Structure 1
């Protein structure tokens, strides 16, 4: 899994855990709803500063936004297997 998709999925997961819509998260974070939508879909490559600001707005560590979850780990293993074949 590439980093953009991983970060996007983690941002979406945490946002939903906090019970925030994209619009509410946009208000809290200062980023546009359009940017957040693109980010969550893995179409944006956020800077380190952006990751930090997003994490602050979500009330989590920036590390949580870049840490692979179990699904990402399984997907990475499948991708490596396909590459070897």
Structure 2
């Protein structure tokens, strides 16, 4: 599976976890819902600032969205030992 497909699946999953429409997510980061759809279908790749904004509002890491880690997003701040 290529990186765009992974990004699209994880972006969709994180958006649906928040129970947001594509339009609601788009409004949060200042882009169009069409662009969100392109990301989710793997047709476009977000710019770095857009990727960061997506991760921040969806409360996941950029590494998770990019498929660099398979760890699902955690709830709450990380704990230290």
TM-score by length of 2: 0.75
Residue 77 (structure 1) aligns with:
none
Residue 64 (structure 1) aligns with:
64
Q: Secondary structure, in 3 states, of the residue corresponding to 1:45?
A: coil
Using the alignment, how far apart are the partners of 2:19 and 2:54 within structure 1? Answer: 15
Q: How far did 1:69 drift?
A: 8.4
Show the 5 A alignment for 1:1-85: 1-67=1-67
Using the alignment, how far apart are the partners of 2:68 and 2:26 within structure 1? Answer: 24
Unmatched 5+ stretches in structure 2? 71-81
Larger Rg: 1
Name which structure has the greater RCO, CA cutoff 8 Å, separation 6+.
1
The runs of at least 4 consecutive aligned structure 1 residues that moved more than 4 Å come to none
Using the alignment, how far apart are the partners of 1:2 and 1:66 within structure 2? Answer: 10
The Cα offsets for residues 32-84 of structure 1, whole Å up to 9 and x where unpaired, read as: 100000110010122333211110121221122022788xxxxxxxxxxxxxx
Unmatched 5+ stretches in structure 1? 71-85
Structure with the higher fraction of residues in helix conformation: 1
Contact 2:3 / 2:67 at 8 angstroms: preserved in 1?
Answer: no
TM-score by length of 1: 0.72
